[in-house]
Amino acid sequence: MGDFNNMVFNAGLYDLSSVGHYFTWHNQQPQNPIHIKLDCVLVNDKWLYCFPSSFYKIADPDCSDHSPLILTCSTDNKRGHRFLYKNYCTKFLEFWACLLEVFSQTNESSPLSSFNFKLKTLKNAMKHKSWTNANQIQRDIDNLKELQHSVMSQIQNKPLDPILNGKLNQINSNLGFYQDALSRWIIQRAKIKWLTHGEDDLKFLYSKINITKNYNRIKAISNDQGTYTKHADIASVFINHYKNLFNTTASNHLASDIPAGRLIPTHLTSSLIAPVSREEIKNIVFSGNSNTAPGPDGFTFDFYRSTWNVL
């Protein structure tokens, strides 16, 4: 088993997420029964990239002691993701130009409403910028590596050429810049804190992200009407469930009929209704972790800290 586990680890294989039963094998002995998950579907990162919605179902064993594994590759189209601010954006001068352009506008309404409007404007502006696209940064890295290889080949024949050495220096500088930006984004997505102290294995991080997304995705859901696997059907089951839960027939109970719950102690009331100070807000923002999940607006603690003087 040690050799087998090493092969699975070295090949970068993962057990694809599944639905249905958990155990896949039974020894068929009523007195000393053994149920175990003996069978699984192993996939690699390339499979998860091509079929991110795939999963397998562990069905009833019928007459065998093994349960059949039925692989399902969902045909649902890839859906767009909500906006997520990337912490590396502050390294681009274009980001600061975009930020200053949006937040230099005068407030046309209340400060809070105006601030919310400017965040939405900034978000919409950033969505169409190439430097916010991690795939574009990866393409820039690939192009720079090809250019680096070409210049290095020329330097073998002219090692003292100042023009070639100047080009190589500039390429290496740009390559380091883009690789640092990409690694920041991967670490931000992976949320693996122990990898931020020197290790920079982006391939492992990508695999970790893809397998986590695959496990977290809802593949199938069952209710009284049956089992559903398509995205639209799953969404409809959730919507109908909560429609029935919250849209019940209204009762004629008066508010006075509802018993009072636990009350807030009097000595805490003043602190709860006291105005929130600017310093309290700043302390909360600057104490947050840069790689924590963003708020509903899509911006992270790192965004507010980095742009605090402008905002």
User: pLDDT tens-digit profile of 116-149?
Assistant: 999 999 999 998 888 888 888 888 999 999 999 9
Structure tokens that stand for 16 in this block = 């694809």
Distances (CA, A) of 119 to 26, 81, 85, 116, 304: 57, 18, 11, 5, 11
Distances (CA, A) of 168 to 37, 136, 152, 221: 54, 22, 7, 55
Q: What is the structure's pLDDT at 64?
A: 84
Annotate 220-274 with DSSP letters as a single string: -EEETTEEE-SHHHHHHHHHHHHHHHHSPPPP---GGGSPP-PPPPHHHHHHHHS
Q: Alpha-carbon distance 79 to 77, whole Å?
A: 6
Angle, CA of 246, 252 and 258, to the nearest 5°: 80
Q: Alpha-carbon distance 140 to 181, whole Å?
A: 11
Domain ranges in the chain are 2-72, 87-219+275-306
User: pLDDT tens-digit profile of 251-276?
Assistant: 666 777 777 788 888 899 888 899 99
- By DSSP bridging, strand 14-15 and strand 25-26 are unpaired
User: pLDDT tens-digit profile of 69-95?
Assistant: 999 886 555 555 678 889 899 989 999
